[in-house]
Amino acid sequence: MELINNLTEELIGYCRKIAVDIVGFSDATKFDNFSKKHRPNSFLSNSKTVIVIGFHLYDISLDAWNRDENKGTSYHFADLILLNQCHRIKNFLTKKGFKLKIITYEPGLFLKDAAALAGIGPIGKNNLLITKTYGSQVRLRSLVTNAELSYGTPIHESEYCRNCNLCVESCPAGALEGGKYNKDLCHNYCLANLKYISEKTVIWCNKCIESCPVGKKTN
């Protein structure tokens, strides 16, 4: 156990060094409720830990998508930062003799669920992860590894949402009504109401994120 705790602390310290805003660790055996293609062992056999990292979108411009139809390329700036951090974490643990796999989005792991299992925060009424420090203004990435780390305590219920309905009321698409997220309503509204910051760069609707009071400064 001491070796596990030491490695965990060392990795957390390294994550701070490379400016990772959020990091947590979930037990790779806790994903059995998901389909096989969304389980850690589908990406790395004998995986023990899912490492979840998050990036704080302290400025909405960081959530911009750029697409060049002529080149057929698409970039999300925050995700490129997260991907770079994932590669650095992979190199850090690989040098210590461990195996790691950076998870792609498709088929991928369910990142919000992985973060909740890691104890980073709950999934709120806005269908997003809610973190104590940054609210839902975060983007996530994950890696799986055969390194055993100190797991966080899974969070299955949002204490923040018990007496709050702000995100439901603020959603212009009505996609959060009835206590269930309607992906089609959300997606269609976002596509019809993209905010262009340049000819090829857009920002999607984030009313549900902006309305969440968690993590907002009060002074």
The answer to whether 82 and 141 have CB atoms below 8 angstroms apart is yes
What per-residue confidence (pLDDT) applies to 69? 85
pTM of the prediction?
A: 0.94
How many other C-beta atoms lie within 10 A of the C-beta of residue 4?
A: 15
Average confidence (pLDDT) over 170-197: 95
Lowest mean pLDDT among 7-11, 13-17, 66-70, 148-152: 66-70
pLDDT at 219: 40
Instruction: Pick the closest to residue 144 from 14, 18, 45 (CA basis).
Output: 45
Question: Quick check: 167 pLDDT over 60?
Answer: yes
Mean pLDDT of the chain: 94
Q: Output the CA–CA distances (angstroms, integers) from residue 134 to 102, 114, 120, 214, 216, in the order listed.
A: 24, 17, 11, 7, 7
Residues 6+ apart with CB under 8 A from 103: 43, 109, 141, 142, 143, 144
Give pLDDT, residue 218: 52
- Binning the chain into helix, strand and coil, the percentages to the nearest 5 are 35, 20, 45
pLDDT digits (tens, 9 = 90+) for 130-165: 999 999 999 999 999 999 999 999 999 999 999 999
CB atoms within 10 A of CB 191: 11
pLDDT of residue 55: 97
Domain coordinates of the chain in residue numbers? 2-158
Give the tens place of pLDDT for each residue, 74-114.
Answer: 899 999 999 999 999 999 999 999 999 999 888 899 999 99
Percent of the chain whose predicted confidence (pLDDT) is above 70 = 99
DSSP-derived secondary structure for 193-208: T-EESSSSEEE---HH
Cα separation of 29 and 49, whole Å?
8
Task: Dig out the tokens for 49 from the structure.
Answer: 């830990």
pLDDT at 61: 87
State yes or no: pLDDT of 200 exceeds 70: yes
Which of 44-48, 55-59, 69-73, 121-125 is predicted with the least confidence, judged by mean pLDDT? 69-73
